[in-house]
Amino acid sequence: MATDLDNWSDKELEQALASGELGDKKAVVAEELLRRRREARAEALRRKYKYFGGVLAVLTLAFATLRRLWRR
C-alpha cells in the first residue's frame, strides 16, 4: 500500500485502522480523513435533496390542512 493516506480508499483506511496497521499519528490522520470524507458525502446529499425535503414538507402540511377542513 502507498504511504500517502489521501490515495487510500475508505475501505482500505478502515481496514488499516481496525488491524492496527497504522502508527499513532497516521491513525489520527486516517480517522480525520474518513470523517471529512463522510461529511463531504453527507453535505452533497443534503444539497442534492434539499428541495425534495421542502416539497415533501409542503405536501404533508397541505394534506393535513385539507383533512382538517374536510372533517368540519
CA torsion sign for 46, 50, 54, 57 is: negative
Summarised one tens digit per residue, pLDDT across range 21-56 is: 988 999 999 999 999 999 999 999 988 888 888 899
What is residue 3's predicted lDDT score, i.e. its pLDDT? 65
Q: Between 59 and 4, whose confidence is greater?
A: 59
What is residue 1's predicted lDDT score, i.e. its pLDDT? 45
Summarised one tens digit per residue, pLDDT across range 4-13 is: 888 899 999 9
